[in-house]
Amino acid sequence: MKTDKKIILWAAGFLILLSFILLQLDIYPIALTSKWIITSRQFNKVVASSFVYYQKTFSVYATSTPISNIEFQKEIKRAALDKLIEDKITEKVLRKILGAKELEKLVNDKLANLPINDEIAKASQILYNLSLEDFKKLVLIPQAKTEILKERGIDLLEIKKSYQPIILIPEFYWQNEVLTRD
């Protein structure tokens, strides 16, 4: 009996420690299905780069900056999470249709046609505060996959109907294929 209690206490302690580590590393899930997970780290990187982009854009083209507006911030977060969900769905569908190797080849072909150079690296750093590698992962590769999906005549909106991701951020929820916020 005492051995069972020790095992339960060790397991509980281990789970608590693991939870603290995941929180500290910012890799806990914020949205998921049975097939994929979006981590807080991915989400926070996209949100931060979006804020940088809008702040730079508004500083050039507008007299006021709505970035401090709470509603604007919530909408940026909603749009970022929605885009991450769409990217995961696109990835899953293309892997199922094409296979991992063919998908990678098609994406690499699309990226090879882009003039990725030092100017693009500087622009991604200035406009989005992203390294070129992060810019590829978060912007260029998902866009290439979206283009491949469209070239195949696949309607993402129709596919989204079959997904019901679990959203773990309290202010957002999935309703009728759309990410909505409170």
Q: What does the angle CA 143 – CA 57 – CA 31 come to, to the nearest 5 degrees?
A: 45
Report pLDDT for 82: 92
Nearest alpha-carbon partner for 148 in 83, 178, 104, 115? 104
Query: Chain-wide mean pLDDT for the chain?
Result: 85
Phi, psi (degrees; rounded to nearest 5) at 11: -65, -45
Q: How confident is the model at residue 179 (pLDDT cuts 50, 70, 90)?
A: confident
pTM, two decimal places = 0.81
Within the chain, what is the greatest distance between any pair of CA atoms? 71
Contact 138, 130 (CB under 8 A): yes
Q: How many CB atoms lie within 10 A of CB 18?
A: 10
Q: How many CB atoms lie within 10 A of CB 165?
A: 22
* Mean pLDDT along residues 82-102: 93
Amino acid type, 11: A
Return the higher-pLDDT residue of 11 and 54. Answer: 54
Nearest alpha-carbon partner for 129 in 71, 48, 67, 66? 48
